[in-house]
Chains A and B, each alone.
Chain A
Amino acid sequence: MNLGPHADFIVAAYALTAFVVAAMVAWVVLDHSAQRRMLGDLEERGVTRRSQRRGS
């Protein structure tokens, strides 16, 4: 595939987009595992939400 005389601009646009999309995916995945870990820690220590207590 020949990208012509402005190949640098095209490659830079695709590289930047790939980087930002990868950063967004990493953000949601890492944030999810961090929140799950913190919830797990709290539950292990016996901390419950008030709504859970009402339900039990």
Chain B
Amino acid sequence: MAVIDLANPTRFLNLVNRVLPWLAAATAILFAVGLYRAMGAPDDYQQGATVKIMFLHVPAAWLGMLGWSVMSVAALGTLVWRHPLADVAGKAAAPIGAAFTFICLVTGSLWGRPTWGTYWVWDARLTSVLVLFLLYLGVLALYWTAEDPGRGSRAAAVLTLVGAVNLPIIKFSVDWWNTLHQPASILRMGGSAIDPSILTPLLIMAAAFTLLFFTLHLAAMRNEILRRRVRAMRMTQAQEARA
């Protein structure tokens, strides 16, 4: 099957139905391995056992940003090529990305209290991630409340592309400004600053969360395609009843 064939919603649904059980199984296995390795990881010499929150917080932060990246590519597909599957992809990714950003904010707060002595501080990293979460809520409001779904989708796509400016701000906020948040310690020039005994479980957990994201995204896309079919059939039914 050529990649272009997946642009057809029916063929896409057939592929999702075949792939989804395998993706879900792989996600569960990776989570089992990741959690086992995370629980066995040594305590940090400064933070003690609270470093275990990192195995949730860091992948959630990455996926909050990945979700918006997926939505940005989908927004281009919606606005430039007006492809319905692009709109489906963007709409399906929004609540999932918002949930991961919410996990990032709350676990970060729970990690900050014992480490920094405060749940929250208005520094550049924390504030820019909060802005990302608010942008997610804005996009969801546009998708869920627009009377005309087409107009709502286009407005959400525009907001998504505008909000993409926030992604490099989040990534480089710890370099551009003085923040309480630590600087980049994994994706940085010169390699990771984390010991392999902690880095390995972190990467396994990140892989598990990433698979979870794509599993949920494909499942949500399938639901959205079915929802649009139901809507189209109801409109046909209403037109026939009127005729």
Contacts and interface: CB of A to CB of B under 8 A. Distances in A.
Dominant secondary structure of chain B at its interface with chain A = helix
Nearest to A31: B223
B227 interface: yes
Interface string B196-224: 00000000000000001000100110110
A54 interface: no
A49 B103 contact: no
Contact of B53 (A13, A39, A50): A13
Nearest to A38: B230
Nearest to A2: B49
Contacts of A42: 230, 233-234, 237
Contact of A39 (B95, B219, B226): B226
Interface residues of A, number: 34
Contact of B49 (A3, A12, A29, A49): A3
Contact of B60 (A3, A17, A49): A17
Contacts, number: 93
Interface stretch (B71-79, B105-113, B144-152, B161-169): B105-113
B223 A39 contact: no
A50 B38 CA distance: 52
Given A25-B216, A32-B219, A49-B236, A17 B49 contact: no
Given A17-B103, A35-B227, A38-B230, A9 B216 contact: no
Interface of A: 1-7, 9-10, 12-14, 16-17, 20-21, 23-25, 27-29, 31-32, 35-36, 38-39, 42, 45, 47-50
Interface of B: 39, 43, 48-50, 52-53, 56-57, 60, 95-96, 99, 102-103, 106-107, 110-111, 113-114, 212, 216, 219-220, 222-223, 226-227, 229-230, 232-234, 236-237
